Amino acid sequence: MSRTLIFGFAAVVLSVVAADERRAPRPQFSEGQLRGVFFEKLDDAFRGQRPSLSSIRKSAQVAPVAAAGQSTGGGSSGADGKDVWSPLIGPASLEDEVKRLRLHYDSVVTTPGAFNSGGYQDARLDLTALASLFAVINEHGGEVRWKDQAAVARDLIARTAFNCKAGSTQVYNEAKLRKADLQDLVSGTGITGRESDPDTDWTMIADRSPMMEYAELLVESLDEVTRNEGTAKTEIDSVRRNAELLAMVAEIFTREGMDEADDEDYVKLSHAMRDVAKTVVAAIDRSDWESVTAGASLIRQRCDACHEEYR
């Protein structure tokens, strides 16, 4: 072994020893000093029966069901406390649509001139749809992102949507505030210093005129991605999202207090569109692409039938 290698090895050893000498001394505890901080036995750390490998496997099998948007008992929708939204739309579709509308809204609220000359109409549509989405998220039985602030977002966005019936500098400034709120919400910062109104109902959230326009846009998008079975397979996520959103919108049209919600024929038309949209989602789940395209065509017929009678 060369002298250089020996000296190098010695230097490493000395540096390790010196570093060890600089470490803080090991803490000393008296007997019983940590009692109550740590469990005496592993079994004490569990409430009830200690979990087994088989029980863990069963839990893993149940988890995907909750992730798919089924009710977990964590929310309610109607006055009767039943969750009507989980069977209609899953968390992924809700979250993706909020993000999509937020990006579109950003492109609408740019300058006062563009906003006042017609941009306010696009802003009203986006905000009405967003307020409805956050209302559904608030009542959804599944684990959906932003659920803890959905009611606050719902109220703020619905109020601005109502004010966007006309363009003005004041309304533009308010629309810019909602733009910042949405950015904070989606980025994870959240909306601070605000409280929701427990008396908010659907009459204050979803004006039917922009919601019908929103439904028409969803139908057009669904038509585009279901031109044929090949397109439906390629755009499966978009097909599912549009179908679930249409089922959601159709149900919103029948909520208590909404225009014509007490009209039996109107409710039947809305429920017919909702139910067909559900069959499209079911057809996707079983990879029945012929039924997917047929169902999408039937949704268009249901939508047109409703527009012939109601606007």
Topology (CATH level 3) of domain 208-309: Four Helix Bundle (Hemerythrin (Met), subunit A) (1.20.120)
How far apart CA 46 and CA 65 sit, in angstroms, is: 26
Contacts of 70 (CB under 8 A, 6+ apart): 86, 87, 141, 142
203: tokens are 């009459």
Least confident of 1-10, 80-89, 215-224: 1-10
Q: What angle do CA 100, 72, 134 make, to 5 degrees?
A: 30
CB count within 10 Å of CB 308 equals 9
| pLDDT surpasses 50 at 53 | no
- pLDDT tens for residues 1-16? 555 555 555 555 455 4
CB count within 10 Å of CB 57 equals 9
- pLDDT tens for residues 168-203? 999 999 999 999 999 999 999 999 888 899 999 999
Contacts of 197 (CB under 8 A, 6+ apart): 155
Distance of CA 191 to the CA centre of its chain: 16
How far apart CA 255 and CA 118 sit, in angstroms, is: 30
| Residue 1: per-residue pLDDT | 53
- pLDDT tens for residues 20-34? 555 556 666 565 554
How far apart CA 148 and CA 138 sit, in angstroms, is: 8
DSSP state of 35: B
- pLDDT tens for residues 86-113? 999 999 999 999 999 999 999 999 999 9
Domain boundaries, the chain: 91-203, 208-309
